[in-house]
Structure 1
Amino acid sequence: MNFSEMKDQVINGVKWYFNRNWNRDDVMNMDEISDEVHSTLKMNTRIIISMLTAYSFGSSVGFIFNYLFKVEQRFVLRLLVGITIGTGNLLYQAITTKDRREIYTGCLKYCVVIVFSIITFFLLETDTTLRMIVIHSVLILFMGYLVIYSQEILYNADFGDIDYVNCTFNVFFHFPGIMIHATRLYLQGEQQEEN
């Protein structure tokens, strides 16, 4: 294999990574989810969020969490409670309702709870407040990202082909691609509004 073939493979791999099928109308859509997509979505979301919770719990136990975030192990359980509430709320709303607005509002409720817990940490103990603010900020961004990522899950559920393990790890590995695609859609919408 020569250099130009390798370069073409790399370019095609990068193009494939950033290729997403949903558009700006899908992100801004607040209509109800259709019955056949919702029944597929209930089963798929239940499995994907269960795997995501198991993945989060497994990655948070041990020295890696302490090394990366500089947080002692006794605080990890408190953080897991927030993640569990957030993903559980998203799962509950996705199972019980077909209205997208209610699903997204569930994530916003979780973000408000995180803000109140930051204030509580600030009042109780100033030493860990800065670390908790950093971690809670990351959790708020992650919940916002889950709302955007749910569009990809809905798109795949529409066709009925979801690989559960792939979707669980895509939450983390496809983060840059999904965020760049969402930003690109936002900027395209801004350009269309200016014209």
Structure 2
Amino acid sequence: MDSFASFFDSTPRWNFNTLKNFNQISPRVQNHLKQVYLTLCFAVAAAAVGAYLHVLLNIGGILTAIACLGISVWLLSTPPFEERKRLTLLMAAALFQGASIGPLIDFAIQVDPSIIFSSFVATALAFGCFSGAALVAKRREYLYLGGFVSSGLSILMWLHFASAIFGGSMALFKFELYFGLLVFVGYIVVDTQEIVEKAHFGDLDYVKHALTLFTDLVAVFVRILAIILNSKRAEEEKKKKKRRE
């Protein structure tokens, strides 16, 4: 019994200080991460403005999605020393991205405005938890997941392509939603650790890194919002059936 008790006494216990364990991340990289997350917050705010503009002016659609993609490519091809220009391009890309998902947000507002807040909170919690876990974990511990999430993204693309040609069922749609959510949550972990590693090797391009995390964040938000909307619609259909009975 003494040896059994001593085993648990010697086992490291979790405490709140674990969340502040950034000893493996140098001060320079920590400052870089602060810039990345601060820039990400501004990009999210710009996306919210874009979504709001769609609700007011109905500007979101294929053209805004193409504009977002084009501006993102422009940003990545712009030299890092043109910092102000790249920040402007990032905010513009985020604004057009927000306008692109505006139709989905507008539909959610018509169904139940509280869904937007619930989806945003759930997305923020998911992003914070998984990105934070990647930061406090050992360096390169989760980079092996990159191959899995890349394969998962390929599967999603082929499923979407097949659905567009042959048509898709509701079961396939749900699978794409939940599997896609899993894939992009994995990307949050992998991309966070890749950003840390690149920063350790001298890549301190916080604008590009913020764009990477912003892309993951939007992908997770869209899927969480679609899942909640789907659940809400299923509940309403059940209520209608009960009323008819």
Same fold (TM over 0.5): no
Which one has more relative contact order, counting CA pairs under 8 Å at least 6 apart? 1
> TM-score scaled by structure 1?
0.42
Rg: which structure is higher?
A: 2
> TM-score scaled by structure 2?
0.35
